[in-house]
Chains A and B, each alone.
Chain A
Amino acid sequence: MFGKTIKRVVQVGVALSFSVSAYAQQEVKIGVIYPLTGAAASSGAEMKNALELAADIINNGAKGIPDLPFSAGGGLPNLKGAKIKLIFADHQGNPQVGATEAERLITQEKVIALVGAYQSNVTATASQVAERNKVPFLNPESSSATLTQRNFKWFFRTTAHDDLFVQNFFDFFKDMEAKKGIQVKQLGAFNENTLWGNETTKLETKLAQEKGYNLVKTITYPAKSTQLTSEVQALKAGGPQVVMQSSYLGDAILAMKTYKELGFSPDMILANNAGFTDTEFIRTLGKDADYVITREVWSLDLAKKNPLIKQVNDLFNSRYKANFTGNSSRTFTGLMTLADAINRAGSTDTEAVRKALTETNIPGSKLIMPWKGIKFDATGQNVYGSGILVQIIDGKYNTVWPFDLATRDVTWPMPKWDQRK
């Protein structure tokens, strides 16, 4: 008798709460956590622009781009046209701030999902808060492989991670041998010594061994060095054909200058993104940046194969007077993926959104990324996330690998320093 009453009360309560949330769906609040101040503020600003563009397309439409999801505008159709509202938080590149901001967004702003946070170490702490609070966390651009090895239920990553990117280097060598007859045997690993560089070094060593390459020199240098003379001298003495390098911007610039100064000319410098794809890299080094190949996740010249890329980039460019970058295009894609899931869930209930995320299946033709699509595995990793390789020629990035996406033939080897014009 008593049990029946309680059951009734609960039923009514649940029904009420559902109808309340159904009527309150004017806005879907999404928390976005990015470095808006601090050392990474310029990247943060780019990504903020990408997020605002994505939200604007969902809410107000994008004329003339019918292939892009939500380009009709008018909010999320399955939620009676509810609009996306982004709540911005600034983590300043600081993991602790990232965690407290995530907490604030969830408990005070009542966001139903989080997107962020660019730097892997901040993503790690912020997503932990989301996991504890059972709120979906969509990570568009952090590449530390460990993020999806934590058995989290609420964490989803659209981009490929570092392990896959390094794997791509070796795929590239194999392709070079098979399709161009260029043999790469002697490798050098030149990485900075924080978590990222060390993980990369480990993986490069392992893969080189497995695949029968000769790693003649392995150097991990202290990040933010005042000089890299001994490093480059040691590399030169090892005589690698190809140098695989992971450096942030300041070190990348310093390394290139030291290569030139000491006349170190390997066949190729195969860079692991980061400093080498920063807009300042080419601007600072000018012609000396030419011929470097770096892995990327996105490049404007891919538009030749996928018209969506140019159309959306034009929108971005007309608003912010800048093109997409690997970061901003991924952040854009991340928010669009989350919106797709919320729409399919047809609800702002976090469990429903999580479930919809696990069922995500977006084909590559609906994306501005060079991926086959978006589909998450049990760990929350997008199984289709992959990288490309671009080569700098005349101060521009040109896609050179995978060969079927290439817009330009790879120039190999790089000319020696004293033979350049």
Chain B
Amino acid sequence: MSLEIFLQTLASGVLIGLIYALVAIGLTMIFGVMDIINFSHGEFLMFGMYSSFWLYALYALDPIFTLPLTTLFLFGFGVMVYKLVISKIVTAPMVSQLFTTFGLMLLFRGIAQFFWKPDFRTVDQSIVSGSVQIAGFQIGLPQVTAGVGAILITAGVYLFLTKTKAGAALEATAADKDAARLMGIDSQKMFALAWGIGAACAGIAGALLSTFFPIFPEVGANFILIAFVVVNLGGFGSIVGALIAGVLVGVIEVVGGFLLGPQYKLAIVLVLFLAVLMFRPQGLMGKA
């Protein structure tokens, strides 16, 4: 493998890995705060893509410019889903919670199919299109933008959690709900906030993806399996872990796929995943 090809595959892997990380961050956050696994997370991503698409199709607005709007939509949507559905099952057994979010996944897909049909759509004109040539290899501008966006959002979420009062309250709730409540933190509010941020992260990932990935009702399924692997690998509830694991999975998938044959690329990722679980069940950055 020549240096040029190596750099090219490495760059591609890092860029898609950053997107995986962004999807996974929303998922890990919801889990970290309230111990609920959200199967409908991929559908938040799908709604983020459709939000970008419709703003583009109806008003010719570029997905990059409408990113704040999409973020707001998805934040509101996440909070709404929490208030209407999830708040009723916070104390329900784990199995009921799993079925609830699984049901939401089917419902959201159904809604998308009903309104927008199973057609594939794409945003074909964006300010970020084409590719750049760097030192003999090419990378797509949409991918670069998405990667940079993913880093910024991840950093933002991290700063929010570590530097703000609301973030600290969220972390406190994640660490110990009951103790946090005794300290006067309204856990209902914190849960709603976690869902809002979680959905917004997936939505932003969707918006960034929409400039180069086709949009269809079942698109979430393509990303959700990898997102679960990333969350697990990074350690449940860990933002930094999700970022590292996301990039790792992306790079292993692309570079490993090139070296050993693309038909094995998911297998390579899953083998690594199993190995980590065997020797470090809590994940890379998770607490034992």
Contacts and interface: CB of A to CB of B under 8 A. Distances in A.
A joins B in a complex: yes
Interface of A: 37-42, 193, 219-222, 224-231, 233-234, 237, 249-250, 253-254, 257, 260-263, 278, 280, 284, 286
Interface residues of B, number: 42
Contacts, number: 102
Interface string B142-160: 0100000000000000000
B120 A230 contact: no
Interface string B93-126: 0000000000000000000010001111110100
B214 interface: yes
A402 to B, nearest CB: 31
Interface string B184-204: 000000000000000000000
Contacts of B213: 226, 254
A233 B263 contact: no
Nearest to A230: B257
Given A229-B9, A261-B139, A37 B113 contact: yes
A193 B113 contact: no
B113 A230 contact: no
A284 B213 CA distance: 11
Nearest to B6: A233
A219 B261 CA distance: 7
23 contacts: A39-B118, A40-B118, A41-B117, A42-B118, A42-B119, A220-B262, A221-B263, A222-B266, A224-B222, A226-B19, A228-B262, A229-B254, A231-B257, A234-B257, A237-B5, A249-B120, A249-B214, A253-B122, A257-B140, A261-B138, A262-B138, A280-B121, A284-B214
B8 interface: yes
B243 interface: no
A229 B5 contact: no
A417 to B, nearest CB: 10
A220 to B, nearest CB: 5
B261 to A, nearest CB: 7
Contacts of A220: 262-263
Interface in B223-260: 223, 226, 253-258
A386 B226 CA distance: 41
Contacts of B214: 249-250, 253-254, 284
Contacts of A224: 221-222
Contacts of A278: 120
Contact of B262 (A38, A221, A253): A221
Given A222-B263, A261-B140, A284-B214, A229 B117 contact: no
A42 B117 CA distance: 7
Contacts of A229: 9, 12-13, 16, 254, 257-258
B131 interface: yes
Nearest to B216: A250
A262 B262 contact: no
Given A224-B222, A230-B258, A261 B9 contact: no
B218 A39 contact: yes
Q: Nearest 10 CB-CB pairs, A to B?
A: A230-B257, A229-B12, A230-B258, A231-B262, A280-B120, A261-B140, A284-B122, A227-B16, A220-B263, A221-B262
